Amino acid sequence: MVTQEQARPGVRLTARGAIALIFVITLASEPTGSTLIVGLVFCLACVAGVLLVQPRDLLPLVVTPPLIFFAASLISAVVGTFGAPSMVQALGLGLFTSLSAAAPWLFGGSALVLGAAWWRGLPAAVSELRAELRASRPAAEAKPRQPTGEPAFAPEPEGYFEPRVYGSPREQKD
């Protein structure tokens, strides 16, 4: 039987490749200085990344757009501080300005990635991850459950909270 990945010819990226694609394209648009251009390019790169990534790598890609945007903005702000009288002040102001001006684009790009990934099969990837985590948990850690779904009562071993007396008992004087 032919799987879905074999049936579709074309470029398929890993999560790392898609993250690198989004980062490089966003970083390349930063020198324009226009928030509109940077935001549009970021959103388009996010959509391209999620459409080109392999379905099994959707989960790591969905959580990274804010980090990618921050890293691109940080690099752009650091490069912009060269030659400034106060690099720390210029970096803080540049980062604050670029991140606050581009916040709607950041949220929009993140929402686009989430929506496109959901359409491409993100719920299946989340279910698969949960099944793997459940299977890798040792049986000793698994708590027995009652039919109602609540954990079963497991009393502490006897003597666990009892005080220990060391040595011999004192003699009481009357």
- Name the phi and psi angles at 12, rounded to 5: -130, 125
Token pair 């940077």 is found at: 38
Residue 129 in tokens: 């991850």
At residue 127 the predicted structure's pLDDT band, cuts being 50, 70 and 90, is confident
79-110 pLDDT, tens digit per residue, is 888 888 888 888 888 888 888 888 898 898 88
- pTM: predicted TM-score of the whole model, two decimal places: 0.66
Distance from C-alpha of 134 to C-alpha of 36, rounded to nearest angstrom: 44
Distance from C-alpha of 47 to C-alpha of 36, rounded to nearest angstrom: 17
Mean pLDDT score, 25-52: 88
Query: Looking at residue 44, what is its pLDDT?
Result: 92
Residue 4 has pLDDT above 70, yes or no: no
